[in-house]
Amino acid sequence: MVRAAVLPSVGAPLEITGISLPDPGPGQVRVRLAAAGVCHSDLSLSDGTMRVPVPAVLGHEGAGTVLAVGEGVEHVAAGDAVVLNWAPSCGTCHHCSLGEVWLCTEALAGVGRVHATTADGTALHPGLNVAAFAEETVVPAGCVLPAPEGVDLTDAALLGCAVLTGYGAVHHASRVREGESVAVLGVGGVGLAALQSARIAGAGTIVAVDVSPEKEELARRAGATDYVLASDATAKEVRRLTGGRGADVAVECVGRAATIRAAWDATRRGGRTTVVGIGGKDQQVTFNALEIFHFGRTLSGCVYGNSDPAADLPVLAEHVREGRLDLAALVTDRIPLDGIPAAFDAMRQGRGARSLVVF
């Protein structure tokens, strides 16, 4: 038995309890977790904004050490350090054939499998494939990537979601160019990664926007040149800081209708608005036909940073090793497994950035 955070049903509190994991079968890998990040997507799974089979072990951003591998697994072996990949691509679907591996139709095919059982025999599902909120997990081989050398394994957990998403939103989805102005709305773990990535891209003015004044220091350390407290005047403030035109790129990391609309309004004519945040079906955003024509802006969604984890992890690792990307700066709280419910509460209240479960 290993300890894990289990979601018994949608909307129910997480339960920290013992679970029984099977030995890894063919094409599977057993991993002892070093750390797992608490992502807003986990909260979205908990409250039903995103749906997966329950009961489930949540957690999808993690890193650890391979304990054992099943038959046919050759790219990792017992003792190897690995980063978990919650959205493995199949390589054969239409999107994969186009190189859009982040849109793979089979990426979440594994969430319906039986991952583990509770002490009373209740079957558990693996949240977003990898069930990282546990001391150990068993995952398909495609869900593990060799951890990059020279990167602390605990901090490397953040590469599995927050950093890939924030970096990809800036470099892949928005394609920020040197000297461009960037506004990042929402200064959580992904937002901080986006701010650092905008700095790495050579952006000029970098505006961070959040509801919390306490996050200004975090944002400026990540690369923000300016900080705006979110309000009805957010777009006006961003335009004021960007020559009256608006930002070349606005990256929305919240997933609320009002924030998406503010990001759009804060984007210059002809600029790019990228939506990273995951909102609910009730979050309706409206535009009139004339403004779409007149402003000539591009509005696009962004899934997992439009990233290919296998290709992007080595690039991110080099940024870490060269001191351009500071993983530890994304973390405001290092917590034990039973601290996850409090981390959920902090996210609901907009406090802090990434909470990192350290095992």
Percent of the chain with pLDDT over 90: 96
Residue 215: is its pLDDT beyond 90?
yes
Record the pTM: 0.96
Beta strands 226-229 and 136-140: pairing type?
unpaired
What is the band of 52 on the pLDDT scale with cuts at 50, 70, 90? confident
Indicate the burial class of 5 (C-beta count within 10 angstroms; 0-12, 13-18, 19 or more). buried
What is the band of 51 on the pLDDT scale with cuts at 50, 70, 90? confident
- pLDDT single digits (tens) 163-190: 999 999 999 999 999 999 999 999 999 9
From the list 225, 222, 273, 226, the residue with the least C-alpha distance to 247 is: 273
- pLDDT single digits (tens) 310-346: 999 999 999 999 999 999 999 999 999 999 999 999 9
Whether omega for the bond prior to residue 55 falls within 30 degrees of 0, making it cis, is yes
What single letter denotes the amino acid at residue 165? T
Residue 58: is its pLDDT beyond 90?
yes
SS3 341: helix
Q: For residue 184, give both structure tokens.
A: 């990042």
Q: What is the largest CA-CA distance in the chain?
A: 63
